[in-house]
Structure 1
Amino acid sequence: MVEMTGRSLFSVEALRSTPDEGTVAEFRAKVRAAGQEWTGKEPDDLVELLCQAAAGDPRLAAIVRAGGGLLHDFLDGYRQRHTADVPRDPAGELADGHPLPPAVTEGLTPRYLIAVARLAEPGRHMAALRAVAGEDALLTHRDGDIVLFIPAAGPGSGERSVTRLTQCLDGKGWLATAERDRARLVDGLDEACYVLRLVVAGLRPSGAYTISDVLVEYAVTLNEKVRTDLAAMIRPLRAHKVLWETLTAFIDSDYSKNRTARSLFIHRSTLDYRLRRIEDVTGCDPTSGRGAQTLSAAVIAEALQG
């Protein structure tokens, strides 16, 4: 007998002498009785128990150990195949554009709502987002954000999901969404992620957004030269902390002087002076429509480059 990796491999000679039918029948009865008592999980445990049932008959013991070795090898192969075929993070594989095994893709729906959430308190709201997304949703993470692939069940289902997901934010985070067929999930994820970056960089309030909410910013910042020029134009304002805070508060207040002055706890005349100084530094008048739009895009471009 030769020992290899915890399993006994008998020679062929030990198996040439076959037990008579009566002995085999008696042994099978003992095997059934052993099966009723077995509580182990590993093949080696089972082999040892069956060897006890062999009652010292070397021929039966040889059959048990040879069969146990085959069972062990079979299960090893099965586990390796099973582990290789089922990815631990199918949503992550989809997000990276990696192909999934047919056994996994067959369970996917044709179309998905892609939701990317940035939460102020991820631990607090994660469970709520997961519950709203449903059991069939796939979840992963990218750059600290939560990514959900939610099956689009039919017309209007995406809007209902967005409404419920937005409620989970509790006014303390952002949600960017896109909808795509299964084959274009990466494209939809790229869109949603970029929308989220624009929303956060643009100082938008907590809520849910799609590309339609940031069309101007999207178009402007996708052009690398325009993005670089805008960032260069507004970067000198960074050296003036008070002026930078004033501009961001002005944008955050939707260009309302009254709301901006109240948020900064300053007089209107002080605000007017600061807005003029912003124009001196940047060359853009924040109180004009074109100037406000340019400065808003510049703030986003500068944030994206940072």
Structure 2
Amino acid sequence: MADFRAKARATGQEWGEEPDALVELLRQAAAGDPRLAALMRAGGGLLHDVLDAYRRKGAAGVPRDPAGDLADGRALPADLAEGLTPRYLIAVARLAEPGRQAAALRAVAGDDALLTHRDGDVVLFIPAAGPGSGERSVTRLAQCLGGKGWLATAERDRARLVDGLDEACSVLRLVVAGLRPSGAYTISDVLVEYAVTLNEKVRTDLAAMIRPLRAHKVLWETLTAFVDSDYSKNKTARSLFIHRSTLDYRLRRIEDVTGCDPTSGRGAQTLTAAMIAEALQS
């Protein structure tokens, strides 16, 4: 711990007052110790929020984070409100390398974009200039991920930014819980999952159905790989380094435990929704 505290002090000398950069520096400082590295990963979101709140406070209580105020539904001072555009693209990003990727996102979003953080995720409000501009922005933002992380977006008029942020955050939770590959997503990509998990009783029943599978580590890993491979047996067998006959046996065992056949369309859809429901309750 003494060695890490010395590294932390050195980190403070390198920090440029961006929360993403500080978390990344601390993670690098802890890289030699798995326990400290895990602590930095777990505490990164909390550190983001504390630093954002401090930065928003500013001198004499004047808000310094207009994006945070918009995200929380608070009214902005008149001089700041006058500079808002009528419509925004709302982007929420879960990043694998927060320091580097957040800087890239900020550069792509442009000087007129507003940035803040929520629960360790980057939140951007990007002015929507006109038809098609949002789609072009999403493409450029997704490129900043470099195949690592997820981006969820929504578009809303200025008066409905909180609603748009809630939607984008819901999409992000679903794609992460659903083991979707890195990329950009909207509500249209998760309509089934969104509808299923919106009902609390359905969500609870689905989670209860699949929870017994957690006791079978190999079967859980097999189902996860099956979903991740888009239900392709060949891809799943290759990713797990097992024979197809072994995979077929495991898939039958998954049906025995859950009551759903993962090789049928309905069963696969139900099990995927159940995995998402269980992940959201964890």
Q: TM-score range by the shorter chain?
A: 0.7 to 0.9
Aligned runs of 1:118-137 on 2, under 5 Å? 118-137=94-113
Partner secondary structure for residue 225 of structure 1: helix
Please state how far the C-alpha of 1:87 moved relative to its aligned partner.
Answer: 1.4
| Mapped partners of 1:84, 1:149: distance in 2 | 26
Partner residue in 1 for 2:214: 238
Q: State the one-letter code of the partner of 2:188.
A: S
Partner secondary structure for residue 131 of structure 1: helix
Partner residue in 2 for 1:289: 265
| Mapped partners of 1:84, 1:219: distance in 2 | 45
Partner residue in 1 for 2:73: 97
Please state how far the C-alpha of 1:103 moved relative to its aligned partner.
Answer: 1.0
* Structure with the greater alpha carbon radius of gyration: 1
Structure 2: gaps of 5 or more residues: 1-57
| Mapped partners of 1:258, 1:209: distance in 2 | 26
Matched, 1:138 2:114: yes
| Mapped partners of 1:143, 1:294: distance in 2 | 29
Task: Give CA-to-partner distance per residue, 1:10-62, whole Å, 9 cap, x none.
Answer: xxxxxxxxxxxxxxxxxxxxxxxxxxxxxxxxxxxxxxxxxxxxxxxxxxxxx
Please state how far the C-alpha of 1:95 moved relative to its aligned partner.
Answer: 0.3
Partner residue in 2 for 1:247: 223
From 175, 179, 192, give the equivalent of 1:199: 175
Task: Give CA-to-partner distance per residue, 1:149-196, whole Å, 9 cap, x none.
Answer: 000011111001000000000000100000000100000000000000
Partner residue in 2 for 1:111: 87
| Mapped partners of 2:203, 2:222: distance in 1 | 22
Please state how far the C-alpha of 1:260 moved relative to its aligned partner.
Answer: 0.1
From 152, 155, 173, give the equivalent of 2:128: 152
Task: Give CA-to-partner distance per residue, 1:194-221, whole Å, 9 cap, x none.
Answer: 0000000000000000000000000000
| Mapped partners of 1:127, 1:235: distance in 2 | 39
Task: Give CA-to-partner distance per residue, 1:72-125, whole Å, 9 cap, x none.
Answer: xxxxxxxxxx95685111100100001111111001111000000001111121
Aligned runs of 1:1-306 on 2, under 5 Å? 83=59, 86-306=62-282
| Mapped partners of 1:85, 1:102: distance in 2 | 16
Percent identity for Structure 1 against Structure 2: 90
Q: What is the number of residues matched between the two proteins?
A: 225
Please state how far the C-alpha of 1:126 moved relative to its aligned partner.
Answer: 1.3
Partner secondary structure for residue 169 of structure 1: coil
Structure 1: gaps of 5 or more residues: 1-81
- Let me know the Cα RMSD of the aligned residues: 1.1
- Larger relative contact order (C-alpha < 8 A, sep ≥ 6)? 2
| Mapped partners of 1:239, 1:245: distance in 2 | 11
1:86–1:101 CA contact under 8 A, matched in 2: no
| Mapped partners of 2:100, 2:144: distance in 1 | 10
Task: State the TM-score, normalized to the length of structure 2.
Answer: 0.79
Q: State the one-letter code of the partner of 2:85.
A: T
| Mapped partners of 1:123, 1:90: distance in 2 | 21
| Mapped partners of 2:71, 2:181: distance in 1 | 27
Runs of 4+ in structure 1 deviating by more than 3 angstroms, as ranges, are: 82-86
Task: State the TM-score, normalized to the length of structure 1.
Answer: 0.72
1:112–1:180 CA contact under 8 A, matched in 2: yes
